[in-house]
Amino acid sequence: MQRALLCIIFIVTGLPISFAQVQIRRAMTLMGSQFEITLVDQDSSIANSRIDQAVAEIERIENLISEWRSHTQIAEVNRNAGIKAVQVDRELLELTQRALYFSKISDGAFDISIAALDKVWRFDGSMEEKPSAVEIQKSIAHVGYQYIEIDSVHSTIFLKKPNMKIGFGSIGKGYAADRGRQLMQDLGVQAGMINASGDIASWGQQVNGKAWSIGVLNPFRSHKMIKVLKFHEHAVATSGSYEKYVEFDDVRYSHIIDPKTGYPATGVVSVTVYGPSAEFANGLSTSMMVLGVKEGRKLAKQFPKYKFIIIADNKRIYR
């Protein structure tokens, strides 16, 4: 997921003296990405202590769902692809079930088993040539959400095909933002914002009484905003092809892959979705990027609690 099209706007002047609160913001690297946690609390000491707790919760989630860390449960599931089912925590099982739900409603446009293509398409600067059609075809043979078997009774996940792999790069940060928000609310923190590299979950209001403001930038017009979102308890996520990509022969290939073809999705530059849950918004935005404008809008309109902004590669904006 790329997040450069979201701009957080903080306005913290004009604080009524009677509020006796502070607004603390801290940036850090978590889950391999830039996070920012902002809390409104009684004083800076309490706020910073709460941020430490939010960070610990996000690190706990990373140590559960990261496919890159060898000790995690999801790494164990991947190692046993085609061999045996692996027992996992109920939390991971349910996250996988929700991912499979997105696969079903998007007709496979969303698929966590796309992680099997991580050695074919690399967006870390190490790719020197475009993968061949044969390489891509071989790799997508290991992709398919229908081969992910869930046993709810025994809490196991089994990848039926050898060399399959699943990963939560698509919804993991949104889930972490949601969980961070829930933890802070449970601890009595009155307001705040968890920005998980652009997957944002907020609640309450800024210390000056104003709503949280998120600007959606236009990738075709530098520093121009398409819309400023203002909300209290809400979430927003953006999927885009505008920053994380590779180029071969003057053609740009996005990091968002169509699971059915193995090639980067085309036709849409970015999708911003906003509603109650960052995880759900992220699942929708990723699905819509792959489905394209027409089918993506059709999918999103099934969920009236969520709104969207689609920027197509012909520079048209759809809402």
The model's pLDDT over 145-200, given as tens digits with 9 standing for 90+, comes to: 999 999 999 999 999 999 999 999 889 999 999 999 999 999 999 999 999 999 99
CA distance 257 to 287: 10
- At the topology level, CATH places domain 6-65+171-318 in T-fold (3.10.520)
CA distance 290 to 60: 30
Domain ranges of the chain: 6-65+171-318, 73-159
Task: Record the tokens describing residue 96, joined without a space.
Answer: 């996988």
Pairing mode, if any, of strands 6-9 and 307-312?
A: unpaired
* pTM metric for this prediction: 0.91
Task: Record the tokens describing residue 166, joined without a space.
Answer: 């699943």
Query: Does the structure show a pLDDT above 70 at 2?
Result: no
pLDDT of 220 reads 87
CA distance 253 to 275: 29
- At the topology level, CATH places domain 73-159 in T-fold (1.10.3980)
Pairing mode, if any, of strands 148-151 and 245-248?
A: unpaired
Q: Do domains 6-65+171-318 and 73-159 have the same CATH topology?
A: no
- In terms of C-beta density within 10 A (0-12 exposed, 13-18 middle, 19 or more buried), how is residue 16 classed? exposed
DSSP character string of 60-100: HHHHHH-SSSTTSHHHHHHHTTTT--EE--HHHHHHHHHHH
Task: Record the tokens describing residue 86, joined without a space.
Answer: 């692996």
pLDDT of 10 reads 63
Mean pLDDT over 17-26 rounds to 76
pLDDT of 11 reads 53
| 66 phi, psi to nearest 5 deg | -70, 125
Grade residue 1 by pLDDT with cuts at 50, 70 and 90. Answer: very low
